[in-house]
Structure 1
């Protein structure tokens, strides 16, 4: 009897050690994935020199007059910050530009420049926990989708009921765009969506990164981090599903992805493209890495986006 009790005690102790180790690993990767902070796995920004193809857009963005807009986040009453750039000629066309993971509104200058040249007002918000917006966690687009609904309503309130709105995003911003598309209560003024290299679900993306960067299986670690996120921040990685949201969308959507995307693998775009119920178009930019489709071929990118939008935004 004593021997059996001893075995049970040793087994329980071993399980406790394993559980503690898994929880510790979960907290470590929670900080890596969900807490806004500099990330070693993200490439550092390079200075934009005068001979860079991006220089004209960067110079324009630095010099152009920008209005400050503010919003309160859905749920937590966080103060959110955005730049608003009116079109050169008065228009009812406005695009919301959603940035990616640990990026910010000011890094989206190339897209702001493109849409400005296409005749749009441009609204560039900082997502919660990024840039000048408040927040202590990254929502991978799920809580952010509700913030973007509030930004959309602010555009309508300020620019008029006849507003024609495009929602555009890159990477996490692309996923956010798709998550917005399937939400109930989306104002009628939203005419179309353009997403660039967004992921199917936060779970799929984080599982992919765990394997590619750390050679770790998705179970149980990603599930543990997801549970921690649920407990701390009120959402989980499977819930943050662009795939489920886009399946509820009936408005036009354009999907863009680089053929050499190793961060959000190119294969993710195909189930998303097939899931949406509205008019759609797919552009795979040959040779482009993650979030580099515009830089790789700005002429093609602009022509395709412009042609798509002109079908639905008059």
Structure 2
């Protein structure tokens, strides 16, 4: 009888652990595994669909060049679209896309910068679009890939080129993470729209909000799985820590009504970043909606920031 009770006492926590581990594996695959299509946008963004596809059609009509990195390395092969400026320009913007998107999904921002006289580079991040990768790194591996794209821009456009880094949502977090790397002088400024503080905090927040699940034990288990598959823990993936090493002018944009990446993450990122920095909270904007509410005002804010910190020669 005592042995039976002992085995039952052991079996119960083992069963709980196994169930939690299985759930964490499913969660990891759902959140981190690549998908070879762009999921449909959220219901609140459907009203912008016609405008979005008009920007995509514009992109398809441009003299787009395909740029590549690591061509002979199948596991690390990266692809980007490059749209040259209407007239020769020494200014290039590298635009980082959102979660489960690709470079094409940033066509509206590409159009905006193109109208401002910029060359535009639209990478597909690891695990997205035409680039390699089984899993999504949420900006962490991408931050080093963007150093490769920066070097390629300098190599092809010349040492006098001026580079702006721009990203939205996961792309916003990606350029925030790039900010903490050793950047060449040609990188002049960074613009991050609705980037998260860290993958760990974002995952814990969404688990609670969308699935009513606690952080423990799921986030540590997902982190352990990621360490096994990708080589690092989720706690390593931090915009905040990278922003503390930033030395470029940085402009934070965030919708006041964002419930996907909450506004407290904006404030935490802003506080972590070194000067010079600016912040714009967009009234009534939800996640990644700031551009769509008023594209002209959005462009005006970006133009004012760049004119101040990266004036034209």
**TM-score (normalizing by structure 2):** 0.93
**Does the CA contact (< 8 Å) of 1:285 and 1:297 recur in 2?**
no
- Report if aligned partners of 1:197, 1:290 keep a CA contact under 8 Å in 2: yes
Q: Secondary structure at the match of 2:229?
A: helix
Alignment partner of 1:263 out of 260, 285, 291: 260
Alignment of 1:267-286 (within 5 A): 267-286=264-283
Q: CA deviation at 1:278?
A: 2.2
What SS does structure 2 have at the residue aligned with 1:262? coil
* Partner Cα distance (2:189, 2:263) in 1: 22
Distance 1:59 1:48 in 2: 14
- One of 149, 152, 155 as aligned partner of 2:150: 152
1:229 equivalenced with 2:231 (yes/no): no
Q: What is the CA distance between 1:9 and its match in structure 2? A: 1.8
Unaligned runs of 5+ in 1: none
- Quote the Cα distance in structure 2 between the aligned partners of 1:138 and 1:47: 28
Q: Are the aligned partners of 2:94 and 2:166 in contact in 1 as well (CA < 8 Å)?
A: yes
> Over aligned residues, Cα RMSD in angstroms?
2.1
The change in CA–CA distance for 1:244 and 1:96 in structure 2 (over 3 A counts) is same
Where in structure 2 are there 5+ consecutive unaligned residues? none
Find the partner of 1:139 among 137, 140, 155: 137
Residue 161 of structure 1 aligns with which residue? 159
Residues 224/42 of structure 1: CA separation in 2 closer, same or farther (3 Å cut): farther
| Structure 1 residue aligned with 2:201 | 204
Which string of whole-angstrom CA distances, capped at 9 and with x for unpartnered residues, describes residues 248-280 of structure 1?
112100000011111111221001111111211
Q: Is it true that 1:170 corresponds to 2:168 in the alignment? A: yes
1:89-144, Cα deviation, whole Å (9 max, x unpaired) = 11111100000000111110000000001111100000011011111101011111
Which residue is 1:250 aligned to? 247
Q: Is the 8 A contact 2:67 2:79 kept in 1?
A: yes
C-alpha distance 308-39 of structure 1, shift in aligned 2 (>3 A): closer
Contact 1:182 1:249 in 2 (8 A): yes
Q: Distance in 1 between matches of 2:52 and 2:134?
A: 31
Using the TM superposition, give the Cα deviation of residue 58 of structure 1 relative to its aligned residue in structure 2, in angstroms: 3.3
State the Cα distance separating 1:16 from its structure 2 match.
Answer: 1.5
Residue 42 of structure 2: aligned partner? 43
CA contact (8 A) 1:80 1:127 kept: yes
Paired with 1:130 and 1:160, the residues of 2 have a C-alpha distance of 29
Distance across 1 between alignment mates of 2:294 and 2:287: 13
- State yes or no: 1:21 paired with 2:9: no
SS of residue in 2 equivalent to 1:19: helix
Q: Aligned pair 1:299/2:263, yes or no?
A: no
